[in-house]
C-alpha cells in the first residue's frame, strides 16, 4: 500500500474511493469543498482529484508543494491550469475512455430530436397544442454529417451514424485513423468544404486558443441554411451570439447544445428559440461513463505510484 493522501474535490463514482483505499491511500472525500478551502489545505495532499465542478487554478498549484498528481475524472482538462502544474512537476492525468460512448450516444439522440423536433412536440402537448402538421420532420438516413475533430468521441459518433446510413465527412488537424476512415467510408475534407456540405455538424475538439470560436459568424454564413449544429465539446468553441443571430434569422436550421460559454446557462437567450435543444452538460452523465472514468483514474494513479 501507499501512505499518500488524496483530496477528492467533486462528486465521483464511489468505486474510485474504494480502489484507492484498498491500495492503502488515505482519501478525503469533499465533494462540496470551496476554492478557499482548497487553497487552505492543498499543501497537505499528494494527489488532488476533480471532475468538472472544481477548477484547479495557478494560485492553488502554487501552494500544492506536496502534490504529485492532479487527476480529472473525465476528458477535458480546461479546468486544470496545466502550465502551472507542469512548472511544478505535477502529473496531470485524465480518463478519455469514459465519455466516448456516452457523448456519442447523446449526439445521436440530439440529431434525432433535431430531425423530428421531439422537444418542440413535447412542449406543444404540455401547452395544449397538437403540432402534428407543423412538425413534418426529416430523416437522418442519407444526410451528410460533418464531424469536426475525429478523436475518441468523433470516431465513435462516426461509427454510430454510419450504422444509420448517414454520409460522414471528417475534418481534423491531425491525420485521421485509417481503419476508422475505411470502416465508415469517410470523406475527408477541409473545414470550409465540411461546413458547406453538411446537413449536421458535430464538434469534438478540445477548447484551445486555436479552437476558440472555431464556428463564428463568418463560418456559419457558409453553411446550408438548413444545417444543424450540435456542440457537445466546450462552450467557447461556438460563438453563441453569432449562433443566436443565425438561428433567429433563419440562416441556420437548428442547434443542439450541451455546453455553453457560461455554465450553468440559465437565462441564455438561446432558450427563446424553438429550433434549439439545450441540455445541461450531460454528455458524460451516465452511470457507465462515470464508473468507467473512476476505474481508469484509480488504476492510473496506482500505476504511477508503483512507478
Ligand atoms: P480527443 O482528444 O480524443 O479528440 C479531439 C480531436 O480534436 C483530436 O483528434 C484533435 O486532433 C482534434 N482537433 C484539435 N484541434 C482541432 C481543430 N482546430 N480542428 C479540428 N480538429 C481539431 O478528445 P475527445 O475525447 O474526443 O473529446 C472531444 C471534446 O469533447 C473535448 O472538448 C472534451 O472536452 C469534450 N467532452 C465533452 C463532454 C460533455 O460532457 N459534453 C464529455 C467528454 C468530453
Per-residue pLDDT tens digits for 242-270: 999 999 999 999 999 999 999 999 999 99
- Find the 149 Cα to ligand 1 centroid distance in Å: 6
The answer to whether residue 150 scores a pLDDT higher than 90 is yes
pLDDT at 198: 99
pLDDT at 2: 84
Query: Which of 164, 194, 163 minimizes the C-alpha distance to 176?
Result: 194
What residues contact 56, with CB distance under 8 A and at least 6 apart? 38, 48, 50, 70, 79, 80, 81, 85
User: Would residue 32 show up in a list of annotated catalytic residues for this protein?
Assistant: no
pLDDT at 145: 99
| Tens-place pLDDT, residues 77-91 | 999 999 999 999 999
Rounded to the nearest 5 degrees, what angle is found at the Cα of 156, between the Cα atoms of 170 and 98? 130
pLDDT at 121: 98
Please determine, for the modelled complex, whether the ipTM score is greater than 0.85. yes
Residue 108 Cα to chain centre, angstroms = 14
The answer to whether residue 3 scores a pLDDT higher than 90 is no
- What is the spatial distance between Cα 46 and Cα 31, in angstroms, rounded to a whole number? 18
| Tens-place pLDDT, residues 85-124 | 999 999 999 998 889 999 999 999 999 999 999 999 999 9
The answer to whether residue 307 scores a pLDDT higher than 80 is yes
Q: Do 290 and 61 contact (CB within 8 A), yes or no?
A: no
Residue 266 Cβ < 6 Å to ligand 1 = no
pTM above threshold 0.90: yes
pLDDT at 17: 96
Mean pLDDT of the region 192-209: 98
Residue 173 Cβ < 6 Å to ligand 1 = yes
What residues contact 292, with CB distance under 8 A and at least 6 apart? 95, 97, 98
What residues contact 129, with CB distance under 8 A and at least 6 apart? none
- What is the spatial distance between Cα 60 and Cα 242, in angstroms, rounded to a whole number? 35
pLDDT at 276: 98
Residue 252 Cβ < 6 Å to ligand 1 = no
Distances (CA, A) of 10 to 7, 87, 117, 212: 9, 24, 35, 26
Cell for 252? 441556420
Q: Which atom of ligand 1 is nearest to the CA of 154?
A: 26
Mean pLDDT of the region 2-11: 94
Mean pLDDT of the region 146-164: 98
Query: Which of 251, 244, 258, 275 minimizes the C-alpha distance to 123?
Result: 275
- Annotated catalytic residue within 91, 159, 213, 281: 281
pLDDT at 38: 98
Amino acid at each position: 500500500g501507499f501512505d499518500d493522501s488524496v483530496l477528492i474535490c467533486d462528486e465521483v463514482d464511489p468505486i474510485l474511493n474504494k480502489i484507492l483505499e484498498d491500495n492503502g491511500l488515505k482519501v478525503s472525500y469533499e465533494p462540496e469543498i470551496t476554492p478557499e478551502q482548497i487553497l487552505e489545505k492543498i499543501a497537505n495532499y499528494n494527489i488532488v482529484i476533480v471532475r468538472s465542478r472544481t477548477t484547479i487554478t495557478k494560485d492553488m498549484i502554487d501552494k500544492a508543494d506536496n502534490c504529485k498528481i492532479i487527476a480529472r475524472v473525465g476528458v477535458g482538462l480546461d479546468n486544470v491550469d496545466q502550465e502551472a502544474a507542469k512548472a511544478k512537476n505535477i502529473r496531470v492525468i485524465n480518463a478519455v475512455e469514459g465519455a466516448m460512448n456516452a457523448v456519442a450516444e447523446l449526439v445521436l439522440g440530439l440529431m434525432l430530436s433535431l430531425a423530428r423536433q421531439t422537444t418542440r412536440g413535447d412542449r406543444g402537448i404540455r401547452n395544449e397544442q397538437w403540432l402534428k402538421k407543423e412538425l413534418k420532420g426529416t430523416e437522418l438516413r442519407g444526410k451528410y454529417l460533418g464531424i469536426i475533430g475525429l478523436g475518441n468521441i468523433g470516431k465513435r459518433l462516426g461509427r454510430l451514424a454510419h450504422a444509420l446510413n448517414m454520409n460522414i465527412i471528417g475534418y481534423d488537424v491531425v491525420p485521421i485513423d485509417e481503419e476508422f476512415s475505411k470502416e465508415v467510408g469517410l470523406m475527408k475534407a477541409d473545414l470550409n468544404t465540411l461546413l458547406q456540405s453538411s446537413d449536421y455538424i458535430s464538434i469534438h475538439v478540445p477548447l484551445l486558443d486555436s479552437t476558440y470560436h472555431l464556428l463564428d459568424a463568418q463560418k456559419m454564413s457558409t453553411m446550408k441554411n438548413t444545417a444543424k449544429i450540435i456542440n457537445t465539446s466546450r462552450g467557447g468553441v461556438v460563438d453563441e451570439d453569432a449562433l443566436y443571430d443565425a438561428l433567429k434569422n433563419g440562416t441556420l436550421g437548428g442547434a443542439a447544445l450541451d455546453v455553453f460559454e457560461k455554465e450553468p446557462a440559465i437565462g441564455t437567450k438561446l432558450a427563446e428559440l424553438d429550433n434549439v435543444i439545450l441540455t445541461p452538460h450531460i454528455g458524460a452523465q451516465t452511470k457507465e461513463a462515470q464508473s468507467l472514468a473512476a476505474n481508469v483514474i484509480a488504476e492510473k494513479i496506482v500505476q504511477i505510484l508503483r512507478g
